[in-house]
Amino acid sequence: MTSETARYKQQAAEHAVTYVRSGMVLGLGTGSTAIFATRALGERLRSGELRDILAIATSKKTAIAAREFAIPLMDDSLPQEVDLTIDGADEVDPALNLIKGGGGALFREKLVAQASRQHIVVADSSKRSPALGTIFALPVEVIPFGWRAQQRFLTALGAVVTLRHIDASAPFLTDHGNYILDCAFGPIGNLEALAAQLDARTGIVEHGLFIGIADVVIFAGADGITTLTRKIDV
């Protein structure tokens, strides 16, 4: 990450935290941009600008960061409804659909996002895309048992499939002990159809297509902050 990209991510994250109000229950996303938001939230709690915040972390890494910044966390059973989740994205299309999962936390991220009244995404402007799959491979979380069957299935759907590794010898493991298959489809023509096929497949735990979930996307770039709101059909 260049210093310029990091600055843009921080700007987007800090702007998103302005949506937070005292007394809220928050979802804390995973990844470099979301960590900037977690840090900004901790600073506002420490200064007294915010109070009575309770949060749920979408990954073990985020939970560690939240404790470091003295943000109170609820238990993982998610006993309360979430008012607002702030998270990042790997790719965003014009309809504010997302590809997520670059950090490997897509299962928890989607669960918390769907349990939230409002979902805000923060990203640098390089994540804007004309069609999902153009700039980022789709992460698909699979159980280790029989994972090659899922690889063949995904290949048959048109993807170039790569098992994610942490190094040359060991596969990457999610917080739930699963594998990630990074699936390069190229531009995806029908998001809903692909999502339905992946949702129906036994052995696939979750996929990184977040369709109709983001309410607000905040981009930061050389031209400053751009805030986009999802259009809802009525």
Interacting residues of 119 by C-beta distance below 8 A, sequence separation 6+:
27, 84, 85, 87, 113, 213, 214, 215, 216
Neighbours of 192 (CB within 10 A): 11
Neighbours of 173 (CB within 10 A): 14
Residue 137: DSSP 8-state: P
Amino acid sitting at position 34: A
Pair of tokens at residue 70: 């003295």
Q: Is 109 a catalytic residue?
A: yes
Amino acid sitting at position 93: D
Catalytic residue selected from 43, 49, 91, 109: 109
User: 198 with 207: CB under 8 angstroms?
Assistant: yes
Token pair 């409804």 is found at 81
- Identify any residues that bridge with 114 across adjacent strands, giving them in sequence order: none
Enzyme catalytic residues: 109
